[in-house]
Every structure is written in structure tokens, then in C-alpha cells.
Structure 1
Amino acid sequence: MSTFASTTPAAKTSGSSAAPARADSGTRRRGLLRWLFVAPALVYMALFFGYPLVRNIVMSFQHYTPKTYFTGEAPFNGLDNWRAVFSNELFAGSLWHTAIFTLGSLLGQFTIGLALAVFFSRRFRLSGFVRAILLLPWLVPMVVSAVVWRRILDQDHGILNSALHAVGLTEGGVPWLNSPGVALLSAILVNIWIGIPFNMVILYGGLQEIPRELYEAASLDGASPWRTFRSVTLPMLRPVITVVLVLGFMSTVKILDLILALTSGGPADSTQTLGTVTYQLSFLQLDFGQGAVVGNVLILISAVFAVLYLRANRADFGKGK
């Protein structure tokens, strides 16, 4: 009897200590499984995003030429590439053109896209068919769109100038792509045409998520349509607007194929952007070090707006909680 009494507490003690150990083991196993599921994505990001990013940063501090591909020699030259790029007038002009092109494109795409989204949120006959037609500019490859618009905007044989002349609005052909003062505006208008469908689709989806009860309450309070739009629609649509603007910015600021196919950066470098300057330095002048510098500037600008996007989303999430 005494032996049984003396061994029972020890058994209970060992059992109670084994339970936390098993719990810790289960927690570690679940944590390991989580990492195993995430590992393929991390490896993919490291190989296809992390390595090129690091390589591009290193290249911007090297004298990297076509000869390097054969000899493997790319001596470090400190900040020489950065000084050469920042003292280049072409870079300063492209930075200004990129800002104008990006802001003009975003303003036009978002404004028209939001107007169309609000218009189509009121169901009517054939609305689905018309929305599908408006998606075509988004589905066509950008190079194809640029080539088509280059023909439309041709000064001598373009359809647009022919139509303007037919209705008596112009006497001669407007140099849409041949004038330094007009070419950048033409590129912005073409990019607006291409980006409207994306803005419309995303904003239309956001409008469908707004509860109808809010509009009914605003109507009962006697709010005008503009007041309802300003006090109900815009606040409820804010997270979607943030996504549209940030994604639109990140795709527009680095645009290359549209400008190359439309104007090739001309005339007189009036449509040179950071993307085209990167292409020109790297693949025309074959100075990969300076091209990497401009690429890093683009990455830095995109990263800043990505951080702003994440902070805005975190703020919206905090308000939702």
C-alpha cells in the first residue's frame, strides 16, 4: 500500500511534464509544415526577383560592357555610373516626361474608368455586351495597339487627320507624333485608351460590393446624387481606388513597349521616359552599368509607392476593425 502511494505522484509528475513536451513538438511540426508550404514561393521569389534585383544593383557600380560576357571582367568603378546618369540631360528630361506621362495617364484612366463603372452599375439592356466591347483595348497586346494608333495618328495619311479635315476642324494635318509639343500628349491619350478598361472593371467590381441599403438611406435623407456619390460611394470605394491607382502607377511608370512602337522616344527626345532611357543605354549604347542605374531608379520609385500602398491598406484594415 505504501509502495503504491509513493510511486503514484511520480507517475503523475512524469505524465504532466510529457504533455507540454508533446504540445511543443506538435507546434514545431505545424510550424515546419507551414514553412514547407511557403518554401516553393520563397525559392521562386529569391531566384526570379531577389537575384535579378541584387544583380542589377551590383551592376550599377561596375563597368559592364558586352566584352564582360566573354571575359567575365566587370571592374567596379564606384559611383561613376551614377554620376554619369545624373549629369545626363537626357535622364533629367526623361524623369520629367515620366512624371507627366504617368500622372496624365492615371488621371485620365481613373476618371473615365470611374465614370464608366458608375454608368454600368445601373443595369440596362445590352450592358454586358457593351462592357465586353470596351474590354477590347485591354485584351489587345500593347505593341499592336501602339502600331494601330501610329497609323491612326499619322500626319499625312492618318484616319484622325482625315476625319478632322472632313468636318472642317483643321486645314492641314496635325503632327500628332511629329511635333515635340504634341507627341507626349498623343502618347498619354493612347495610354489612357489602353488603361480605361482595367480601371472600369476593377472599380465596377468595387461598386457591386457597396450595400444598397446605404443608397436607400441617403435617398430617404434627401441627399442629392452628387452628395450621395461623395459621401457614400467614394468612401466605400476607397480601398479599391487605392489598389487601382497603385497598380496603375506601377505599370505606367515603367512603360516601354508603347513608347517604342509609337514614337521611339522622339521627336527630339520629347517622349523619352525612364523606361526608354534604360533601353537606350543598355541595348543601343551597350552601357549596361548606366542602364542598371536608371533601372534602379525605377525600382526605387515603384518601391516607394508599394510601401504607400501597404500603409494605406493597413490603415483601412485598422479602421475596419
Structure 2
Amino acid sequence: MAHATLTRTTEASGPEPARRSRGRRHRGEDLTKLLFVLPAVLAMVALFGYPVVKNLLMSLQDYGLRTFFTGDAPWVGLRNYTTVVTDNLFSQAMVNTALFTVGSIAFQFVIGLGLALFFHRRFPLGGVLRSLLLLPWLLPLIVSSATWRSILEQDSGILNRTLTGIGVIDDPVPWLNSPSVALIAVIGVNIWIGIPFNVTLLYSGLAEIPAELYEAGQLDGATGWRAFWYITWPNLRAVASVLLMLGVVYTIKVLDIILGLTGGGPANATQTLATQSYERSFIDFKFGEGAALSNILIAISFVFAIFYLRSTRRAVDE
């Protein structure tokens, strides 16, 4: 009887202290994890959260040059947004931003995919050539812009000299001085800069595709274009989605390339939302309006980010 009573007492009281002990241990582990993550969270808040909130507040204030001396920044609500959106240059900047983004990303991706497929085949010096291809991406953008500006000069640029010498054109083309071709020239330079990034990510995606899939595809007659469409592309689609999303977010805010090449001209032909925000802030010293334009850019990028996350989640669910 005593043994049975002891057994019942142990069964009744034993598991509860054990559960409490495990609970304390888990809470201690959670606290330790939180302490490790906390410095990174604080750094993110300080380096990213504060500037975003400050920029949002500036866009709702009459924040000008005098604010730095008087500290006075009257609250104006959405007036800055109304001012920049109703400006005549805003619609042109929106169109130029869309053309610049779509044109750059489309050609960067197509050319990058072609080069990635080319370098995926093993051949002598393939690794060396692939490494050299990274140079345009590694150069500072101001350096790249200055180099291309000298190449595209109307009278002394090497591009016009070469095209004239081989008989492709009769007169030098004003690549950076004509409103009809300046945006095309800027897009071309940005394509050249962005191709290495596309090649790197797409080549990595191709390297992850098992060779057995292609061997099995050959038995079913999937070679050449059919192999690409039914084997390569489905396995590369996730990498392509990430690449296109990053391309949109990066390209939509490109500033230094345009400033280095044309400064937004001629006749605002290469004016984008990014360059317009820069001019409002650091040339006109209307920081509130510049902040409003930059927030519009952030909102556009955020829309693309949401679209990407939804499409990725749908792909995972399927």
C-alpha cells in the first residue's frame, strides 16, 4: 500500500516540476537569442528606421535652407506631395523613370542570361573571362560615368570616331546633347554596368541545376531550345524572380550615372524621379519637396516588393 501511494505521489508531482524546469530553460534560451539579435535590431533601427521616419516627417514640413539656421520647419501636411505631383516635370520624370527601369532591366536580363548560358559551358579561360566581366560592376559609378561621358562625346568621343571611320554614320551623333537620344545613351550605359550582376546570379542558378535532368531530358528528346524551356527555365525561375526584383529596386533609384552623364538634361530628357528629388533638395534647397519625391520612389519600390513576396509565396504553396 505504501509503495502504491508513493507511486501515485510521484506520478502526480513529478511531471509538473519537470515542465516548469523545461519552461525556464526555454525562456532562458529565448532570452539569449534575443540578446544576440538585439544589437543587429538596434543597428537596423538606427541606420535605416530613423532616416526613413525622418524623411517622412520632412516631407510633411516646410523644410528649407532656413531651417538649418532657425530650426523652424512649419507643418504643411501633404502640400509638398501636391506641389511635386502637379509640377509639369513630374509626369515626364515618371515616364523617363519607367523607360529607364524597364529598358535597363530587360536588356540586362536577356544579355546576362545569354552570357550565363555561354559561360556555363566549360571552355579554356572561361573562368578568367567571367572574372573580367565583373569589372564594370566593381568600378565606382562616378568613374564609369566619367569614362562613358568621354566615349560618348560628340566631337572627340571614340564611339563617334569609330562609327564614322567604318562608315556606319556620316555625322557625329550627339549622344548626350540631343533630347531624342540622350535617354537611350544613358540606358545603354546602365545596361553595361548591370550585366555582370545578372550574369553572376544567373550563372549561380544554372550551376545548381542537376546535370541528371538534362541527361534524362535527352532521352525524351528535350535538347536545345526544348531543354531550356522545359528544364533550365523552370529551375531558374526562382533566381530570375529575385534578380528582377532587385533590379527594379536598384534601377528605379539610380542617380549618380545620370548625374555623371547628363545631369538630367538636355531639356530634362533624362530627368527621373531620383534626379528630380536630388535637384529639389540640393539645388533648390527645398528639402521637404525632395523628401516627398523620395518617398514616392520608396512607395513604388514597396509595391514591387509586395508583388514579389506574394508571387514567391504562391510558388511555394504550389
Q: Which category of TM-score, normalised to the shorter sequence, fits these structures? A: over 0.9
Deviation of 1:292 after TM superposition, in Å, equals 0.6
Residues 1:286 and 1:17: Cα distance change in structure 2 (over 3 Å): same
**How far apart are 1:311 and its partner, in Å?**
2.3
- Distance in 1 between the 2:11 and 2:216 partners? 64
Deviation at 1:27, TM superposition (A): 1.8
Q: The residue matched to 1:155 in structure 2 has which SS?
A: coil
Greater shift, 158-167 or 7-16, is seen at 7-16
What's the CA shift for 1:90? Answer: 1.2
Query: Corresponding residue for 1:208?
Result: 207
Is 1:70 equivalent to 2:74 in the alignment? no
- After superposition, the Cα gap between the structure-2 partners of 1:13 and 1:223, relative to the gap in structure 1 and judged at 3 Å, is closer
1:245 alignment partner in structure 2:
244
> Which deviations, in whole Å up to 9, do the C-alpha atoms of 1:256-297 show, x marking residues without a partner?
000000000000000011110110000000001100100101
Q: 1:5 to 1:198 in 2, by over 3 A?
A: closer
1:42 offset after TM fit, Å?
Answer: 1.1
CA distance in 1, matches of 2:69, 2:153: 43
| Structure 2 partner of 1:98 | 97
Q: Structure 1 residues 231, 11: CA separation in 2 closer, same or farther (over 3 Å shift)? A: closer
How far does residue 6 in structure 1 lie from its aligned partner after superposition?
6.5
CA-to-aligned-CA distance 1:124-161 (integer Å, 9 cap, x gap): 01111111121111111111011100000000110000
Post-superposition Cα deviations, 1:7-63, rounded to whole Å, max 9, x if no partner, equal 775565343321221121112112212211211111111111111111111111100
Q: Are 2:163 and 1:179 aligned?
A: no
Q: In structure 1, what is the equivalent of residue 36 of structure 2?
A: 37
SS in 2 for 1:234: helix
The aligned residue for residue 84 of structure 1 is 83
Distance 1:226 1:137 in 2: 30
User: Which residue type is aligned with residue 31 of structure 2?
Assistant: L
Structure 1 match to 2:156: 157
The share of aligned pairs that are identical, in percent, is 51
**What one-letter code is carried by the residue in structure 2 that aligns with 1:197?**
P
Q: CA deviation at 1:223?
A: 2.3
Matches within 5 A, 1:1-321: 9-10=8-9, 13-319=12-318
Q: Which runs of 5+ in 1 are unaligned?
A: none
CA distance in 1, matches of 2:161, 2:184: 19
TM-score normalised to the size of structure 2? 0.96
Shift of 1:5: 7.5
Distance 2:5 2:144 in 1: 88
Larger mean CA deviation between 163-172 and 192-201 belongs to 163-172
Moved more, 124-133 or 150-159: 124-133
Task: Give the 3-state SS of the residue equivalent to 2:14 in structure 1.
Answer: helix
Supply the distance in 2 between the matched residues of 1:246 and 1:311 (Cα, whole angstroms): 12
**What whole-Å deviation, never above 9, does each CA across 1:50-85 have from its counterpart, x for those lacking one?**
111111111111000121122221110122111101
* Higher deviation after alignment, 200-209 or 222-231: 222-231
Q: Which amino acid aligns with 2:176?
A: L
TM-score normalised according to structure 1 size: 0.95
Q: Do the aligned partners of residues 7 and 119 (structure 1) sit closer, same or farther apart at CA in structure 2, a change above 3 Å counting? A: closer
**C-alpha distance in 1, partners of 2:163/2:42?**
56
Tell me, in whole angstroms, the C-alpha distance in 1 between the residues paired with 2:109 and 2:4. 80
Q: Secondary structure, in 3 states, of the residue corresponding to 1:148?
A: helix
User: Which structure 2 segments of 5+ residues have no match?
Assistant: none
- Helix, strand or coil at the partner of 1:222: coil
